[in-house]
Amino acid sequence: MSECLKDAMGRTIDYLRISVTDRCNLRCVYCMPEDPDRPPVFLPEEALLTAGEWLIFAKAAAMAGIRKIRLTGGEPLMRQDLAELVWGMASLPQMEQVVMTTNAVGLAQRIGALKNAGLAGVNVSLDSLERECYRRIAGRDRMAEALDGVRACLELGLPVKINCVPVRGLNDSQWIPLAELAVKWPVQVRFIEMMPIGEGKAFPPVENSRIRQLLERNFGPVTEVSPGKRQGPARVFRVPGFAGSIGFISAVSCGCCSSCNRIRATADGKIKLCLHHPVNGDARERIRTGKSPEELCGWLRALVRDKPKDGAFTDEKRPMWKIGG
């Protein structure tokens, strides 16, 4: 069972994003804001898949055709068994890449073990390089730890992307300094348009075309790089004199549904075939009733056929930290 995993439209699905937890140690204003009147309600511990359960699912997904897994959340570093998860997933014979999206708080101390376990790359969310501005957006004063995490990844030679969500009126002054990280570091600094999901609905998106104009005014004309095999929805640009590159993700207007190759699993093992649509299936229930990886593989193959043609944010009611960003 190693052929491609295809949906009814003929799209090859080889990329799985797994939210390994809904917990987080930050309180970003557009995701899980600090609000004493409305504290986040997390899943009970027993609802989260254990490492063993995720590894059964990952085995089935790899048999079905998944070749890349991204661990996300919530904050994946909240799981103490993260290296075990990475190791188990990266060891699957069909798996080409296991990567992670993280806020990088506490990453410096753990990246060695994660790399040894097989982690192939890290996307770090960093919305500011100015301490107070970071604290206002992330709700916690932990920018220095996040930057330590980035440095530690670079020292180990891991590919790093820095994700910034531009928030009008909050981090406008930081877009150029963040882009400048790619002058000396071989990182891709990516600007992600705010999506109208959960708390993000309260923040009007800053169009990426505006950021691009700003960058071109500061650094000169940028040149688009032709899309790589796993570039996904990002458009990537080279800037003269930069060691790294700049990327733009315009999920609101990307027009990239026809080439979408991804599905998602939430922390309680629900499968989402599209970011914009509600849950489509329950892997946890199947794992906990003893289904074998072969049975799960067959189920996933049938489920994926129903991947929606496209989406427009209207149907998904849950916040990003519950879906897995």
Q: Which of 19, 54, 67, 75 binds ligand SF4 (CB under 6 A)?
A: 75
Q: How far is the CB of 134 from ligand SF4 (least distance, A)?
A: 11
Q: How far is the CB of 8 from ligand SAM (least distance, A)?
A: 28
Q: Does 28 bind ligand SF4 (CB under 6 A)?
A: yes
Which residue, 75 or 193, is less far from ligand SF4 as judged by CB? 75
Q: Which of 65, 74, 88, 106 binds ligand SF4 (CB under 6 A)?
A: 74
Site string for ligand SAM, 149-168 (x = CB under 6 A): --------------x-x---
32 binds, among ligand SF4, ligand SAM, none (CB under 5 to 8 A by kind): ligand SF4
Q: How far is the CB of 195 from ligand SAM (least distance, A)?
A: 4
Q: How far is the CB of 70 from ligand SAM (least distance, A)?
A: 9
Question: What's the chain look like in SS3?
Answer: CCCCCECCCCCECCEEEEEEECCCCCCCCCCCCCCCCCCCCCCCHHHCCCHHHHHHHHHHHHHHCCCEEEEEECCHHHCCCHHHHHHHHHCCCCCCEEEEEECCCCHHHHHHHHHHHCCCCEEEECCCCCHHHHHHHHCCCCHHHHHHHHHHHHHCCCCEEEEECCCCCCCHHHHHHHHHHHHHCCCEEEEECCCCCHHHHHCCCCCHHHHHHHHHHHHCCCEECCCCCCCCCCEEEECCCCCCEEEEECCCCCCCHHHCCEEEECCCCEEECCCCCCCCEEHHHHHHCCCCHHHHHHHHHHHHCCCCCCCCCCCCCCCHHHHCC
Which residue, 19 or 261, is less far from ligand SF4 as judged by CB? 19
Q: Which of 13, 195, 211, 215 binds ligand SAM (CB under 6 A)?
A: 195
Q: Does 125 bind ligand SF4 (CB under 6 A)?
A: yes
Residues lying near ligand SAM in the complex (CB under 6 A): 24, 30-31, 72-73, 75, 101-103, 125, 163, 165, 192, 194-195, 197, 200, 320-321, 325
